[in-house]
Chain A
Amino acid sequence: MIALRPPSEVMRLERLGCFHQTRLSFMRQLTRRMASEAWRFARPVWEIGTDGVGHAVYTATGPKRTYSLVAFAHDLPDEKRTDRVIAEAWDATFTLFDGVPDAADIARLARNVPLQEAGRVDARSLTLSRANRSTRAWEMVVGALAAGRQPDAARLAEIGYLMRTTAVYGSGKFGAADRESYADRPELAAPFQAEMLTVYLIRAFVRDLAEHAARTRNPTAPRLHDALATALGIGNSTGLGMAPFLVNHPGLIHNWIAARETAIARIRALPEAAPEARALFLDLLDRARADLARWTTVHPRQARRVTQLRRDLAWLSRQPGLLAGPAPWDALCRLAARLSPEASELIHSLILEPYPEIVDPLATGMACAEDGAEPLDAGMPVGRLRTLLREIYGPALDLDWDAPETCARLWYVSAEKQEPRLGERATEPLDAWEQPLAPARDAARLWSVIDGQPDDGPVAHLLLDAPEHRAAIRRAQLIARAPYGEIRDNTLAAAMQPIDMLRAKLSFFGATRFDPRSDRWLRICMFAGAPTPEALTTEMADLWVYPPAA
């Protein structure tokens, strides 16, 4: 038995900000399932004019149900294109429809989906999304095809996608179906499957739309070569709006991270590695190294990390007798732990690849049905609560939470944009609007209240006099059961980098090529390398995330 890495090690922001996708990632769960169940894909509707405006429907049919991406193409003027989640017009807008829409459904969706937040969908919509072109990549592809040739593969790979989404809303947003209304369907039981399916179908639509635009310019324009289309993903811009999710869904986040850590511990515990397992790992390590060439970022902190990652992986692959000794995966992880967190976390993700039979069953535990509804244990003795707080929050309980350096930042939501933002407490008068996103501070406040209280009284009596500590008590009780659900860092610290929180979540989606654009937002790529719907087979369904080393 190998112990799981403790939350005090894993749940630090610096490490979370170095997480990589794994076999458990939600995109890969989706493509594996669709391939193994032989899902069928079709495009029953393509009503897009020579002006690039209109709508299309893409269907994905599994063993029991059909889901339809309803896509609206708008051909946005250049000056209206923005990465921000806040915008009023997009190149294309989408909803994932539960079933197959009829003409009346399409007419209703056409009045609402293009408006996004200003429109309204109903429970037959599972997601709501939109995307904008990468102007450069779009012209590169459409221009080349219209000229009768293929675009330059290397230059296209530098960008990596033709369109990027600025939001993929699910779970009840803007009237859509709540996740719990469909979470009992096997194909949507894992987290974010409806959202991932949306993006996968958007990718197919975007290729078709680019080819359509080329044919409009030149009716004999060729299709984009399959190899180029496969290499392209869908980009995504993600900002601060995603950061509170990690704090607000501790039970769910615990299940994600516990699944990965459990998988890592089980592989490390293997006494030996079969030659095929070693060969697959070394092949994927080579492919991951080659793929680093496609990981471009101008963000200084991330650029340094990628450079160091290259060096670390080069060093690692030079080590003699890698995986040759006993307990080879554990030995490798011990070696990797001496490298940068980027390299260490990549290795911890990679060792899972040769072992689908050990790793993949853990995916079933990654959802969290009771997310947020966990009951408070009112009978818990105060002494037990005290022990829990010390175990979970440790030194954070002893910080001076009124000191400017401890609570330098604050999270708030602006009236103008209704999106989470991060402010400087000392210079911006925003305290009245602070969001509850600092569990360690709240725990420290609770700690000071229970100081001197008798150990054997139930927390129910404590709450009679101090009801404002209800959330902190509930959280400590939950984290005791879900220890990977709490970030073991100060989310108000001056040096805190929100992109670390965003990356942790995006890595579980299966995102790659993290490209921070500031400390608060980043671009990523989704489904780059994934087989197109018509090419999705069980052989191709899984390791697409590592392109051939060439």
Chain B
Amino acid sequence: MTELSLNEAAALARKATRGAGYDWGLATEAARAVRWLAMRGQPALDALDALLASETAAPRLEGDRLWAEGPLCALRAGAVAGDLAALPGLAGLRLERVRVPLLVLPFAAGTGRPMRVSGHGVAHVAPEALHLTGDWRGTQDLRLAPCDDAPAPTPPIFRADVSPDALTRLEALAQRTYAPATDASRRLGAGE
């Protein structure tokens, strides 16, 4: 494993997500999500790598159900689910076939109230807390619902581990955000 600072992890996540074709806004959400998960000891960059390597789709909303023809993108579905869960009166949401469900948890944590997310495992989240059991990899159906009891804050970790292979792939995606040099940019870009 390679150890990065949180800022390095977040910056890499933002660039890699953008490089994978997402807009800058969602790329910034990915950076926030990676930072939040890494601070709670989760393999955040490896999860992002798994997501960006997959074909996924944006969610559609029908009643309390978020779904798509193919597997759901955890970033897109997470952002929508987090928004909807923050609205008053929401009882719960079902997210169908979410790719890399770990990446949904930071969005559930950002809703301003404690949430319980269940799939193959169970996660109890709040802005500064993550308690989880079970497996959060692969593709899973999730249920997300507010809960009354606030989980105890998780002591933050200020480093992010990433596997060498995931790091290589994420860096290759990040490279796509850099413009190839031209003579004009060499001459003018930094104002010599």
Contact = CB atoms under 8 A, between A and B. Distances in A.
Given A123-B159, A373-B32, A418-B178, A177 B79 contact: no
Contacts of B112: 375
Interface string B133-165: 000000000000000000000001011000000
Given A240-B190, A415-B175, A467-B58, A460 B87 contact: yes
Nearest to A415: B178
Interface stretch (A22-30, A259-267, A515-523): A515-523
B63 interface: no
Contacts of B7: 171-173, 178-179
The binding surface of chain B is classed by DSSP as mixed
A145 B160 CA distance: 50
A520 B179 CA distance: 19
A520 B191 contact: yes
Contacts of A171: 5, 7
Contacts of A177: 5, 158
Contacts of B100: none
Contact of A239 (B26, B76, B159, B190): B190
A419 B25 contact: no
A210 to B, nearest CB: 29
Contact of B178 (A413, A424, A464): A413
Q: Is the interface on chain A under 10, 10 to 19, 20 to 34, or 35 or more residues?
A: 35 or more
Given A379-B86, A460-B87, A413 B177 contact: yes
B96 interface: no
B1 interface: no
Contacts of A423: 179, 184-185, 188-189
Interface string A510-534: 0000000111110000000000000
A149 B77 CA distance: 72
A178 B26 contact: no
Interface in B63-103: 76, 79-80, 82-84, 86-88
Nearest to B179: A433
Interface stretch (A52-60, A160-168, A469-477): A469-477
A418 B111 CA distance: 35
A368 B189 CA distance: 31
Contact of A471 (B8, B24, B191): B24
Interface string B39-62: 000000000000000000010010
B84 A460 contact: yes
Contacts of A180: 6, 156, 158
A385 to B, nearest CB: 13
A428 interface: yes
Contacts of B188: 422-424
A15 to B, nearest CB: 22
Contacts of A468: 23, 25
A417 B188 CA distance: 13
Nearest to B181: A416
Contact of A470 (B29, B36, B185): B29
Contacts of A469: 25
A80 to B, nearest CB: 17
A50 interface: no
Given A172-B7, A177-B5, A464-B80, A521 B24 contact: no
B114 interface: no
Nearest to A427: B184
Contacts of B5: 123, 171-173, 175-178
A463 interface: yes
Given A375-B112, A412-B189, 15 more contacts: A177-B158, A372-B32, A373-B32, A377-B86, A378-B82, A414-B185, A415-B180, A418-B178, A428-B184, A430-B185, A460-B86, A463-B80, A467-B80, A470-B79, A521-B190
28 contacts: A123-B5, A123-B159, A172-B7, A175-B5, A179-B7, A180-B6, A181-B158, A372-B32, A373-B36, A378-B86, A379-B86, A379-B87, A413-B177, A417-B190, A418-B178, A421-B185, A421-B190, A423-B179, A428-B185, A433-B179, A435-B24, A460-B84, A467-B23, A467-B79, A468-B25, A472-B25, A474-B25, A520-B190
Closest 10 CB pairs of A and B: A520-B191, A172-B7, A421-B189, A172-B5, A471-B25, A378-B83, A433-B179, A415-B178, A181-B158, A460-B83
